[in-house]
Amino acid sequence: MATEIGLTKQQILESVSGYRQRNAEKVDALEKMFERDKDDLRALGVPIETIGDSADPADLREARYRIPKAEYDLPADIDFTPGELAVLALAGSVWSEGSLSKDATTGLRKIRALGIEVDEPIIGFAPRMTVREPSFGPLRDAIEACRIVAFDYLKPGEEKPRRRTVRPLALVDFEGRWHVSAHDVDADGERMFLLARIVGDVMPTRKGFDPALRDGAGERAMAGLRAVAERNRALLEVTPGTEAALRLLRRAQPAPQGIRVPFVDLHIFADELASYGPEVRVVDPPELRDAVISRLRAALAAHSASGSAA
């Protein structure tokens, strides 16, 4: 960053700590280490510019490397107060590192590079957000790269998953579950897919799509999920002071016979309610009550069978 003309590979190997101490090693080993370090830096959002021979740009034997200061730093017309920096740092610390997009990683690195003290007291209250679904990372990368992907998707009631080919547009978290809003290529329309129902690997294709399709996709997805939740409301009776009460009351409205809780997916919600056991009882709708009872009976049968075997 201190030089406009950059440094050659040999200058870097001779002057940078870590390379200098290993200069006695084989040239191939240092070359691999150098290339690996470049890839790691770029993955962290550090821009590395390669300056080749002006007469033959493809000739990189005497190439020079530099980090353009203008691309590394925040724009000169953007500044933050210590309080704003604290909120940004807190937001960045919430996410587990592997879940951050490349743009978010670059932004956080630029903010930390400012060297400004932030308001520390709120940092101790940062929650941690992790993503369990293995499809999250590949879908995030495909959204950033505007790349069409394919995956197998298992809907409730179906015995086998179906292959879906989509243009992934946005990842959204709703009711603690991750969804991908996408344009289904075969159906020719926007669809919502629950990441928990994606079976196997997400396979990127060589086909791209127009980045403009991503504009507003997250907002449309959240609005659609809220609309579905408003149409689906369960009437529940919950035992006070239990885990069920703690978790359900946060998104519930009081009702004469208990509470009303909006939900998006009947099967996923039935799984949650069944996990509370006797702490919750479904009054309405009947299909949700039947789904919960079915799960409880299956759990009883499984335990009874294992008890008989023992």
* Residue 1: inside a domain: no
- In the numeric block, the tokens 């807190």 are attached to 90
pLDDT in tens, 228-256: 998 999 999 999 999 999 999 988 999 98
Q: Are 217 and 238 members of one domain?
A: no
Residues 60 and 88 in one domain: no
Number of domains forming the structure of the chain: 4
In the chain, the N- to C-terminal Cα span, in Å, equals 69
Residue 44 within a domain = yes
Q: How far apart are CA 34 and CA 121, in angstroms?
A: 40
Per cent of the chain over pLDDT 90 is: 43
pLDDT at 221: 94
The residue ranges of the chain whose pLDDT is under 70 are 20-25, 44, 53-61, 70, 72-75, 92-131, 306-310
Q: Are residues 168 and 215 in the same domain?
A: yes
Backbone angles phi, psi at 208, to 5 degrees: -105, 180
CA distance 274 to 263: 15
192 token code pair: 């919502």
* Rounded Cα–Cα distance for residues 176 and 225 (Å): 12
> Alpha-carbon distance 260 to 275, whole Å?
18
Do 299 and 249 share a structural domain? yes
Q: Give the range of the structural domain holding residue 193, as residue numbers without chain letter.
A: 136-221
Which residues, 6 or more positions from 81, have their beta carbon under 8 angstroms from its beta carbon? none
Measured CA to CA, the distance from residue 303 to residue 180 in angstroms comes to 36
Domain presence at residue 173 = yes
Token readout for 105 is 């990683």
Residue 64 in tokens:
């020079």
Q: Please give the pLDDT value at position 123.
A: 47
Indicate whether 304 belongs to any domain.
yes
Q: Is residue 131 part of a domain?
A: no
In a domain, residue 227? The reply is no
Q: In what order do the strands lie in the sheet with 189-194?
A: 189-194, 177-184, 162-174, 147-153, 198-208
Same domain membership, residue 277 and residue 216: no
- Cα–Cα distances in Å, from 58 out to 6, 52, 54? 17, 7, 9
Q: What CATH number is attached to the domain comprising 169?
A: 2.30.30
Type of residue numbered 240: P
Confidence at residue 60, expressed as pLDDT on a 0 to 100 scale: 65
Instruction: Establish if 49 belongs to a structural domain.
Output: yes
